[in-house]
Amino acid sequence: MNIILFAAKELKKNQLNLDDCRARHIHKILKSRPGDILKVGVLNGPRGSGMVRSISPSQVTLDIKLDNKPVSRPMTDLILALPRPIMLKRILAQSACLGVDNIYLINSRRVEKSFFNASLLKDEIMTDYLCHGLEQAGTTMLPRVAIHPRFRPFVEDMIPRISLSCPVRLMAHPLTSALLPQVIPVPLREKVLLAVGPEGGWLDYEIEKFREQEFKLFSMGPRILKVETAVTALLAQLELLRHFQPAGG
């Protein structure tokens, strides 16, 4: 936990009282003492510092000072064919850690319909895993998650609206030869809408529907990756290309 996160409503007169796992972490793992300064942040808001006013094994009080600098939302949206719940837990945390603005969990012919009934899809449970990623990264902007159980309405109706803010639209696909830097401008300056398929990949019909929405296909190389590995690798590649300067640039 590299930052202590809290909701704005928890802050009372610049003081934060904790009596949950955050308090236990500060006491047992960080071994903080009165007067120590910790990194803190408001979910979807500014970061700052918290001075330990009092501490016990079950309760911590922090005096909060926020810097009020605006925090930018990440420049990547993720379309993800809904994976198995155990895999989704890891993807949610990694996506929040690496930086994703919106996550769209959608259907596909190869997605098991029972996945949409998983208890993990409750907002409060998903938020827990997203917060784990934010705590690791030391940031505050919580990804927004939307669930779309019907493939065609999502692609035909939702993507045109999403694309208004995402001019770069990408789909990872193993049966193409172009690599990521060959299909987008480098350094990457615009917001990306990235589509990642299910285990076994998208069907041809699904690929064509994405093509109709001007998605560019690219390959990650000859190795076949699990979805959770692919998502992590792709988000890392996009972040690299945002900072990459070609020779002579």
Tens of pLDDT, residue by residue, the chain (249 residues): 899 999 999 999 999 999 999 999 999 999 999 999 999 999 999 999 999 999 999 999 999 999 878 788 999 999 999 999 999 999 999 999 999 999 999 999 999 999 999 999 999 999 999 999 999 999 999 999 999 999 999 999 999 999 999 999 999 887 787 888 888 888 889 999 999 999 888 999 999 999 999 999 998 888 888 999 999 999 999 999 988 766 655
Give the count of beta carbons closer than 10 Å to the beta carbon of residue 212: 11
The confidence score (pLDDT) of residue 81 equals 96
Can you give the pLDDT at residue 143? 97
**Nearest 5°: CA angle at 70, between 68 and 76?**
145
Of 206, 228, 226, nearest in space to 217 by CA: 206
Within the chain, strands assigned E span: 4-6, 15-18, 37-42, 47-55, 60-66, 76-81, 102-106, 144-148, 168-172, 192-196, 216-218
The answer to whether residues 192 and 239 touch, using CB atoms and an 8 Å cutoff, is no
Q: Where are the domains of the chain?
A: 4-66, 76-243
Residue 189's Cα: distance from chain center in Å? 19
Intrachain domains 4-66 and 76-243 with the same fold: no
Both structure tokens of 243: 């900072």
Fold observed for domain 4-66? Ribosomal Protein L25; Chain P (2.40.240)
Record the pTM: 0.93
Task: Specify the CATH number of the domain 76-243.
Answer: 3.40.1280.10
Do the Cβ atoms of 187 and 244 come closer than 8 Å? yes
pLDDT at 247: 61
Q: Which of 91, 97, 57 is nearest to 196 (CA)?
A: 91
* Count of beta carbons in the 10 Å neighbourhood of residue 150: 11
- Indicate the SS3 state at residue 108: coil
